[in-house]
Structure 1
């Protein structure tokens, strides 16, 4: 089994960039990056010094429910190319460790899956969790602030040349 890291959907980023409301019903805040630790959840790269970015409350779940965590995230203020889903670790994951947590098909936290994982061990831990039938997908979250970073899923099986 292989895994893939996924960005915030382009459609979601476009809504935020056009001033659409965040998870709390507020317009995203616009700032200029100092180049230090501003990870864009759409291109999964760091926002460079001098580049404008948005801060907003993001809920990476389809509906409200007790486990639908909401938190602050950053995205480039100007359109950027979405990270191509890949088994390669996104370039913005530069901290020494992250929280990796599994969720069910019902978008509920699966207790016992969450762990503080050293950066280099994230792909192996993700493969271990996604080998379980009860784990539908994973979130990678900041180990210091619990902010959502990206989603991890199984790579779809190719059948007759298609996913």
Structure 2
């Protein structure tokens, strides 16, 4: 059993309150265009016309060679964190995603990375978790490599 894990609320609230991103900068504020702006906390698309944050995020506890940093969007206003086993809205629209496993020391487990059709993603995640070295899996955009969410064992 696996579950989709959104960004932790404490990290998101600090950013919504003007805290620094992974590059030490204050998140940029912009107006959402709708569909192309997925919030990594509620895992919903930020509605068109709503204020959003654009920032650099490193979904790892510390900087190290495998700790990729990249741009993400967040709702500028408080939103509820995605919880539950359902695949969230932001992971339903793209035809495919890049998924890859990471070890407990936050290193890529080579041989686990794959661009996979969306409909097969969660089954492939289960297969990746068959490798005992894998502690968690990242879901990234297959086109821009942007971090989307994490998959954890349920």
TM-score range, shorter chain: over 0.9
TM-score, structure 2 normalization: 0.97
Partner of 2:60: helix, strand, or coil?
coil
Query: 1:132 — aligned with what?
Result: 131
Partner of 2:90: helix, strand, or coil?
coil
Query: 1:96 — aligned with what?
Result: 95
Q: How many Å apart are 1:36 and its aligned residue?
A: 2.7
Query: 1:57 — aligned with what?
Result: 56
Query: 1:68 — aligned with what?
Result: 67
Q: How many Å apart are 1:74 and its aligned residue?
A: 0.3
Q: How many Å apart are 1:151 and its aligned residue?
A: 0.5
Q: 2:98 & 2:33 partners in 1: Cα distance? A: 25
Matches within 5 A, 1:69-88: 69-84=68-83, 86-88=84-86
Q: 1:96 & 1:129 partners in 2: Cα distance? A: 20
Q: Give CA-to-partner distance per residue, 1:27-66, whole Å, 9 cap, x none.
A: 0000111213100000001001111100000000001110
Q: 2:19 & 2:60 partners in 1: Cα distance? A: 17
Structure 1: gaps spanning 5 or more residues: 156-163
Q: 2:104 & 2:80 partners in 1: Cα distance? A: 28
Superposed structure 1 runs of 4+ greater than 4 Å apart: none
Q: 1:74 & 1:20 partners in 2: Cα distance? A: 15
TM-score, structure 1 normalization: 0.92
Structure 2: gaps spanning 5 or more residues: none
Q: 1:67 & 1:16 partners in 2: Cα distance? A: 23
Q: 1:108 & 1:47 partners in 2: Cα distance? A: 31
Query: 1:47 — aligned with what?
Result: 46
Partner of 1:92: helix, strand, or coil?
helix
Q: Give CA-to-partner distance per residue, 1:82-127, whole Å, 9 cap, x none.
A: 001x332111111100000100010001111000010000110011
Partner of 1:141: helix, strand, or coil?
strand
Partner of 1:14: helix, strand, or coil?
helix
Partner of 2:52: helix, strand, or coil?
strand
Query: 1:150 — aligned with what?
Result: 149
Q: How many Å apart are 1:136 and its aligned residue?
A: 0.2
CA RMSD of aligned residues (A): 0.7
Greater Rg over alpha carbons, structure:
1
